[in-house]
Amino acid sequence: MTLNQLKIIEPVAGDYNLPNYSEVRRSFKWEDAGEDLSFNKTGRLNMAHEAIDRHVEDGYGHKTALHYVNGDERVSYTFKEVKEKTDHYARILKENGIEKGDRVFIFLPKTPECYIAILSAIKIGAIAGPLFEAFMEDAVRDRMNDCGAKLLITDKEMVKRVPEKDIPTLETILYAEDIEAEPFIDDGKQYTEWMDAEDGMLIHYTSGSTGKPKGVLHAHRVVTHQYQSGKWVLDIKDDDVYWCTSHPGWVTGSVYGLFTPWLNRATVVIQGGRFKAEHWYKLIAELGVTIWYSAPTAFRMLLSQGDVLKDYDLSSLRHILSVGEPLNPEVIYWAWEELGVRIHDTWWMTETGAHLVVNLPGEKIKPGSMGRPFPGIEVGILDEAGEVVPRGTVGQLAVKTPWPGLMKEIWGNKDKFDSYFKYEGWYVSGDLAYQDEEDYVFFQSRDDDMINSSGERIGPFEVESKLIEHPAIQEAGVIGKPHEVRGEIVKAFIVLREGYVESPELLEEIRVFVRNNLAAHLAPKEIEVMDELPKTTISGKILRRELKRMEIEKSAVDQNA
Ligand code: 6R9
């Protein structure tokens, strides 16, 4: 069965925020986007103002801005309360000498304080750097050093993973517990710094196939793209309860967990704790979640738990979205059959600021496809010469520049930034795809060695660099090995130094070494010892593609055996 023979899921009639895609797509101009945003009327711009303070000014201060759920713990805040809290954090940041453009890092679990700390840094004109909660010392240090972090907001537990002495630019560490304990002073002061559209706002570190993670810097202008995608793709309305499962240390968690829903005045759900099917379903049922944004790995895990969902009333759900990795048609059919709700795939990247290819609620879904270009976005499938290929042909997935969400720069690395724009007028994503006659885009694979495990983007170089710091390892090559639930898992091939002998204990020690220094999700799930690694004859570079080819061949043999 080829993809095009898969059963199409027709749109369900509904009162969607984008009534007529074809019409809008023809007439849409980015200048007309973001109609509700206040800077379009006042000329004054700040992401934090648009996401929170604007709603208080517009008379929605008493609307619930967030529900926080962690086990039996439940907390809810109104928009007015979130505004006061961001003012409170902003005042303390100011007192600690933070100025416009300074880098303020946030290293907290998925709690309201994490969201509020990010917004407060942005409010006073600083650049917020959210870190994923599972990072260990080396991952924290590399990222904060790369862009010269000046202040860190963390808590008294996570600070144990902050190698303070190795981060020379770091002047201050603040603890969320202490900030929370200080009384809020309503001094009537305006903490919002009005920003230029091109001023930096957010930095996310993300991996490619070479080098250490890069700092993708976004400017305040991203607000227009995020607002508009929230309105049309997430289809947020005033009575929606919206839940994105990602931590703000990942771009999905900041852009679609925090900024975009709040730009559209949604009630946001923040869920602490680990994945457990029962807890997730219970949360949806108890809070009456209407819009749910997650990733294929999570959906596959839920699917594998079978009938668990029958114990919960999930009838509040009206709209589900997916991102980060290829969405299997089985998963779409599962949700359609079991929940009667369509899963809408979305495609974008840390670098792109917001959605680029999407399935809209009022349009048919072709399972296997990520959807069609967002209005105002032009996709091109390019060949090696940078020419657009005929429909149906696989090539490099590229996007016409510019658009408001596109990153401003890669921190301190102009060459890397320029490498995305090697064909005049195009941003090249690094993904391979084809497009059909109706504009639907079908993802094929990455064009490089980047690993995608559970929707998390993992650079093989960062893992390899850590592996060879282990005394037993001479060389290491890291690949993504295909995996049924997680999409891919991290697999390492290593050559041992003389005097070391392979043993289960040694391999476990190596795994723990990576986990304790970088992060659990970066530690190889499998390690294979080899006598030598395949390399290019001229430059002697490790051939990850060859390792991957061997691995895929081997698992095909295993399956046939
Ligand atoms: C938002 C996010 C970006 C890479 C991207 C691609 C993969 C994202 C996808 C998808 C298939 C989708 N990706 N969405 N692959 N279908 N709907 O994930 O950002 O962490 O920067 O990763 O993820 O390979 O290039 P980021």
Q: Which residue has the tokens 């019409």?
A: 23
pLDDT at residue 243 above 80?
yes
> In terms of Cα–Cα distance, which of 71, 73, 120 is closest to 95?
120
Share of the chain above pLDDT 90, in %: 91
Looking at residue 560, its pLDDT comes to 62
User: Which residues fall within 8 angstroms of residue 41, CB to CB, at 6 or more apart?
Assistant: none
- What distances in angstroms separate CA 126 from CA 260, 315, 496, one per listed residue? 19, 42, 46
pLDDT at residue 102 above 60?
yes
Output the residue whose Cα is nearest ligand 1's atom 20. 457
User: Coil, strand, or helix at residue 464?
Assistant: helix
Query: What are the tens digits of pLDDT across the range 253-303?
Result: 999 999 999 999 999 999 998 889 999 999 999 999 999 999 999 999 999
Query: What are the tens digits of pLDDT across the range 368-411?
Result: 999 999 999 999 999 999 999 999 999 999 999 999 999 999 99
User: Which residues fall within 8 angstroms of residue 282, CB to CB, at 6 or more apart?
Assistant: 312
**Are 490 and 524 spatial neighbours (Cβ–Cβ below 8 Å)?**
yes
First to last CA, the chain: 24
CA of 441 to the centre of ligand 1 (A): 13
Whether residue 454 has its Cβ less than 6 Å from ligand 1: no
Looking at residue 25, its pLDDT comes to 87
Look at strands 395-400 and 379-382 and give their pairing. antiparallel
pLDDT at residue 91 above 50?
yes
Q: Between residues 185 and 386, which one has the greater pLDDT?
A: 386
Alpha helices in 202-295 (DSSP H): 222-232, 251-254, 260-263, 277-287
Spatial distance between the Cα atoms of 118 and 204, rounded to a whole number of angstroms? 12
Which of 226, 251, 328, 443 to mutate for ligand 1's pocket (most ligand atoms within 8 Å of CB)?
443
CA 48 to chain centre: 19
User: Coil, strand, or helix at residue 127?
Assistant: strand
Measured from the CA of 250, which atom of ligand 1 is nearest? 20
CA of 429 to the centre of ligand 1 (A): 10
Which of 456, 457, 462, 522 to mutate for ligand 1's pocket (most ligand atoms within 8 Å of CB)?
457
**Are 523 and 490 spatial neighbours (Cβ–Cβ below 8 Å)?**
yes
Query: What are the tens digits of pLDDT across the range 428-441?
Result: 999 999 999 999 99
CA of 402 to the centre of ligand 1 (A): 19
Residue 442 phi/psi, 5-degree rounding, is -115, 115
Q: Where are the beta strands (DSSP E) in 56-162?
A: 64-70, 73-78, 103-106, 127-130, 151-154
Mean residue pLDDT of the chain comes to 95
Q: Between residues 212 and 398, which one has the greater pLDDT?
A: 398
pLDDT at residue 65 above 60?
yes
Query: What are the tens digits of pLDDT across the range 350-363?
Result: 999 999 999 999 99
Looking at residue 556, its pLDDT comes to 77
Looking at residue 139, its pLDDT comes to 96
pLDDT at residue 1 above 50?
no
The pTM assigned to this predicted structure is 0.94
State mean pLDDT over 488-498.
96
User: Tell me, what amino acid is at 159?
Assistant: V
Whether residue 452 has its Cβ less than 6 Å from ligand 1: yes
Share of the chain above pLDDT 70, in %: 98
Q: Which residue has the tokens 């008294």?
A: 156
> In terms of Cα–Cα distance, which of 187, 190, 185, 51 is closest to 128?
51
Looking at residue 525, its pLDDT comes to 97
Which of 325, 327, 352 to mutate for ligand 1's pocket (most ligand atoms within 8 Å of CB)?
325
Question: pLDDT-based confidence at 445, cuts 50/70/90?
Answer: very high
CA of 180 to the centre of ligand 1 (A): 36
Looking at residue 74, its pLDDT comes to 95
Whether residue 431 has its Cβ less than 6 Å from ligand 1: yes
CA of 457 to the centre of ligand 1 (A): 8
State mean pLDDT over 479-500.
95
Which of 260, 374, 452 to mutate for ligand 1's pocket (most ligand atoms within 8 Å of CB)?
452
| ∠ Cα 498 503 506 (to 5°) | 75
Spatial distance between the Cα atoms of 243 and 69, rounded to a whole number of angstroms? 11
